[in-house]
Chains A and B, each alone.
Chain A
């Protein structure tokens, strides 16, 4: 019986009076993959960092017992911690654009580990860096080694970060949301890479908000909520037969093919009127647009009917957001045109379009960016309303009630609200002018899964009540499968496949769609 690499009992981490980790016990055996799953604010990241003595300034870390590499970590000096960091355990954070020093080359970042832990003599460091880059699947290592984060794609950056974490051949890798900012196909590659490290004998502690990501690589999983572990056990068991209510809610809230036609928050069936296929609301014909002669959208046509939801899926850079701007006529197409209710919408002076503007509204990924931070919620929601001042206040309160916000929200500022509340405000504001079309650009991407479920339910209710047509843009195939009637699959600005959502996602014809669908991590199918 080998001793665990890491073993902590009753870990508590506080910042001032607030305690964010409240008694977490966990251990990691050599070669094992343990996952911590939880939503934002659950304390999972702080737990991970505290295990390396990096809980941050102003933190107070306590534990009943705390052993790292068989030694008592409660008695560690800063120098003891430093010897373990990088050497015994490597850390991989999310979004390598900011987790790698933007001013330094990939090679410099990796070589730093080699130097600090004296892994290889100075003369052999450059060669070792190239071997490491090759080992994490970076093509053309010699070229990439000299580049900086902004010159690398998201997937390559994450590989460089992993290369730097494994440079000193640690027994344990702690990965905090290692795939969160990545496209689904790239995410699949990074997960495969982590699984390879595990197969090579490295233990993994994986932190994620995404149960499906964890299912692909982990042996055991801990579910955290409000600083406590509410459930733990083998992945298969926790996913197949969750014992705790919170785990069950979390699993049910994940939108997918199976959740179509149900309310995500309650799991009950939901009815909605069928789209009126004879009522055409928005029609785009052969739209093209380029930035600096690089085509962003090429030859895209679609029709949106009353009460219909058109999903648009694709990876970053596929032209989804440009398509949204063209549909909103915030961007004039270089070629092609857009019609609203069979009347001219694009290719005309803004003055001619303005009387119709209120009919098409936008809901964006991060509403905070589209709110004036100095305005109150009431003022934000009232802005697009063309009503006499007396009726305005009442209508604002109506709208807030419709999206499930208490009337008191009207006097608050967007910064004081949670992500889910902000998105509700954005929906209330978009609904104000009673639009025919809602363009939703990644409306739930920044939200936790339980909040995402609430917002998706709300959008579905709104559509059922008002018959609003929606263009729903997302990188998340599960979300689109849950909400959309029809779907466009975009790649490099072109539509490679379109059709009924069930046809496209269950019987994809185009190789790219097949690759996308195959790359989606799935619940309940743990890797062999």
Chain B
């Protein structure tokens, strides 16, 4: 477990360093970006260099960047002239809402479909797996566009954009959650069906259990093992997909921030977003490791 935490920290350090290197390699001069459209004289340039410490050797800048990170200081945005931490703090909320809602939608849909169709007739399974295939193979932005044109433009049930109230959350959460439901549903159903064919399932039936109790007490736990592995993968999908979904639905959030920062070469913000994603990823995969141990007590390392 301590080793797990150590690896987590190493991943975070690697993410910080990689984004720092990316900043160094990025085309264009930092001072140009900082000057922007403002007055451009050698004196102003010299003042900017001194103020941001750009005259120091790169390695010193790197170490002082890491040092500030350790103290929770994410630096200042080149464009907004505000603390990066402050910018992100305002935008984390809507993104967290969106990703959690999408994850919840995905898990609930997958669970319902898998439980309803595992081991059933060919028709039900065929229909479910066709739907899953579509959800997996169509890119989320296209799902988003279809949802928008049907439910917002045509039917007018949900707002086209914004983040006001729960109604505005429904379509983005579906667009982001459906692909997850597709993959997870397939894996869960496969796991359930495999577990229901094992000899221990025969033993359990021979005790007089109903099929429903068999699924609840035995098979589901076995099916969860591959599903938890997948959960690690869809954390990444959610974070990446959130950017596109937020832009498509005009929602405020980290996606918008990241988009603006990338186009404006506002590297401190880009780096902070990368780092934040890494923190989320490491936290979730550590939690999943714990979940593994709870589900499958045979794992003891």
Q: Which residues in A have some Cβ–Cβ distance to B below 8 Å?
A: 49, 52, 54, 57, 82-87, 90-91, 93, 95, 98-104, 112-113, 116-117, 148, 150, 161, 164-165
Q: How far is the CB of B219 from chain A (nearest CB, A)?
A: 9
Q: Which residues in B have some Cβ–Cβ distance to A below 8 Å?
A: 119, 198-200, 202-210, 213, 217-218, 221-222, 295-298
Given contact pairs A54-B205, A54-B206, A104-B218, enumerate 19 new A-B contacts (beta carbons under 8 Å).
A52-B206, A54-B202, A82-B209, A83-B208, A86-B208, A87-B208, A90-B207, A91-B203, A91-B206, A95-B199, A98-B198, A99-B200, A99-B202, A101-B218, A103-B296, A104-B217, A112-B207, A116-B207, A165-B206
Q: How far is the CB of A76 from chain B (nearest CB, A)?
A: 13
- Which A residues touch B209, using CB under 8 A? 82, 112, 116
Contact at A103–B295, with CB atoms within 8 Å?
yes
Secondary structure call for the B interface: helix
**CB contact between A148 and one of B204, B208, B298 (< 8 Å): that residue:** B298
A-B CB contact pairs (8 Å), 10 listed: A85-B207, A93-B199, A98-B198, A98-B200, A101-B200, A103-B295, A112-B204, A112-B217, A116-B207, A161-B203
Contact at A150–B207, with CB atoms within 8 Å?
no
Contact at A82–B208, with CB atoms within 8 Å?
yes
Contact at A100–B205, with CB atoms within 8 Å?
no
- Which B residues touch A52, using CB under 8 A? 206
Could you tell me the distance between the alpha carbons of A67 and B298 in the complex, rounded to whole angstroms?
43
- Which B residues touch A112, using CB under 8 A? 204, 207, 209, 217
Q: How far is the CB of A178 from chain B (nearest CB, A)?
A: 12
Contact at B202–A49, with CB atoms within 8 Å?
yes
Known: A104-B218, A148-B297. A99 touches B199 (CB 8 A): yes
- Which B residues touch A84, using CB under 8 A? 208
Residue among B200, B213, B295, B296 having the largest count of chain A Cβ atoms under 10 Å: B200
Contact at B202–A101, with CB atoms within 8 Å?
no
* Nearest neighbor of B201 in chain A, beta-carbon distance: A101
* Nearest neighbor of B210 in chain A, beta-carbon distance: A82
Q: How far is the CB of B149 from chain A (nearest CB, A)?
A: 43
Could you tell me the distance between the alpha carbons of A112 and B296 in the complex, rounded to whole angstroms?
19
- Which A residues touch B205, using CB under 8 A? 54, 85
Q: How far is the CB of A53 from chain B (nearest CB, A)?
A: 9
Contact at B202–A86, with CB atoms within 8 Å?
no
Residue among A54, A102, A161, A164 having the largest count of chain B Cβ atoms under 10 Å: A102
* Nearest neighbor of B211 in chain A, beta-carbon distance: A78
Contact at B207–A86, with CB atoms within 8 Å?
yes
**CB contact between B204 and one of A95, A101, A103 (< 8 Å): that residue:** A101
Contact at A86–B206, with CB atoms within 8 Å?
yes
Instruction: List the 9 shortest-distance A-B pairs measured between CB atoms, nearest first.
Output: A91-B206, A86-B208, A86-B207, A85-B208, A101-B200, A99-B199, A98-B199, A82-B208, A116-B208
Contact at A99–B218, with CB atoms within 8 Å?
no
* Nearest neighbor of B203 in chain A, beta-carbon distance: A99
- Which A residues touch B206, using CB under 8 A? 52, 54, 85-86, 90-91, 165
- Which B residues touch A98, using CB under 8 A? 198-200
Q: How far is the CB of A168 from chain B (nearest CB, A)?
A: 8
Contact at B210–A102, with CB atoms within 8 Å?
no
Q: How far is the CB of A205 from chain B (nearest CB, A)?
A: 13
Known: A102-B200, A112-B217. A164 touches B298 (CB 8 A): no
Q: How far is the CB of B31 from chain A (nearest CB, A)?
A: 61
- Which B residues touch A54, using CB under 8 A? 202, 205-206
Q: How far is the CB of A20 from chain B (nearest CB, A)?
A: 16
Contact at A93–B208, with CB atoms within 8 Å?
no
* Nearest neighbor of A57 in chain B, beta-carbon distance: B119
Q: How far is the CB of B209 from chain A (nearest CB, A)?
A: 6
Could you tell me the distance between the alpha carbons of A54 and B208 in the complex, rounded to whole angstroms?
11
- Which B residues touch A93, using CB under 8 A? 199, 202-203
Q: How far is the CB of B4 from chain A (nearest CB, A)?
A: 22
Could you tell me the distance between the alpha carbons of A84 and B207 in the complex, rounded to whole angstroms?
9
Known: A93-B202, A103-B297, A112-B217. A117 touches B208 (CB 8 A): yes
- Which A residues touch B297, using CB under 8 A? 103, 148
Could you tell me the distance between the alpha carbons of A502 and B160 in the complex, rounded to whole angstroms?
90
Residue among B198, B208, B210, B218 having the largest count of chain A Cβ atoms under 10 Å: B208
* Nearest neighbor of B218 in chain A, beta-carbon distance: A101
Could you tell me the distance between the alpha carbons of A164 and B218 in the complex, rounded to whole angstroms?
15
Could you tell me the distance between the alpha carbons of A6 and B296 in the complex, rounded to whole angstroms?
40
Could you tell me the distance between the alpha carbons of A58 and B296 in the complex, rounded to whole angstroms?
31
* Nearest neighbor of B222 in chain A, beta-carbon distance: A103
Q: How far is the CB of B221 from chain A (nearest CB, A)?
A: 5
Residue among B199, B204, B207 having the largest count of chain A Cβ atoms under 10 Å: B207
Q: How far is the CB of A502 from chain B (nearest CB, A)?
A: 41
- Which B residues touch A150, using CB under 8 A? 298
Could you tell me the distance between the alpha carbons of A160 and B207 in the complex, rounded to whole angstroms?
14
* Nearest neighbor of B213 in chain A, beta-carbon distance: A116
Q: How far is the CB of B177 from chain A (nearest CB, A)?
A: 28
Q: How far is the CB of B88 from chain A (nearest CB, A)?
A: 41
* Nearest neighbor of A113 in chain B, beta-carbon distance: B207
Could you tell me the distance between the alpha carbons of A478 and B198 in the complex, rounded to whole angstroms?
33
- Which B residues touch A148, using CB under 8 A? 297-298
- Which B residues touch A99, using CB under 8 A? 199-200, 202-203
Could you tell me the distance between the alpha carbons of A116 and B218 in the complex, rounded to whole angstroms?
14
- Which A residues touch B199, using CB under 8 A? 93, 95, 98-99
- Which A residues touch B213, using CB under 8 A? 116
- Which A residues touch B295, using CB under 8 A? 103
Could you tell me the distance between the alpha carbons of A87 and B203 in the complex, rounded to whole angstroms?
13
* Nearest neighbor of B296 in chain A, beta-carbon distance: A103
Could you tell me the distance between the alpha carbons of A100 and B218 in the complex, rounded to whole angstroms?
10
* Nearest neighbor of B195 in chain A, beta-carbon distance: A101
Q: How far is the CB of B182 from chain A (nearest CB, A)?
A: 26
Contact at A102–B208, with CB atoms within 8 Å?
no
- Which B residues touch A113, using CB under 8 A? 207-208
Could you tell me the distance between the alpha carbons of A7 and B208 in the complex, rounded to whole angstroms?
20
Known: A54-B202, A164-B207. A102 touches B218 (CB 8 A): no
- Which B residues touch A103, using CB under 8 A? 218, 221-222, 295-298
Residue among B205, B213, B298 having the largest count of chain A Cβ atoms under 10 Å: B205
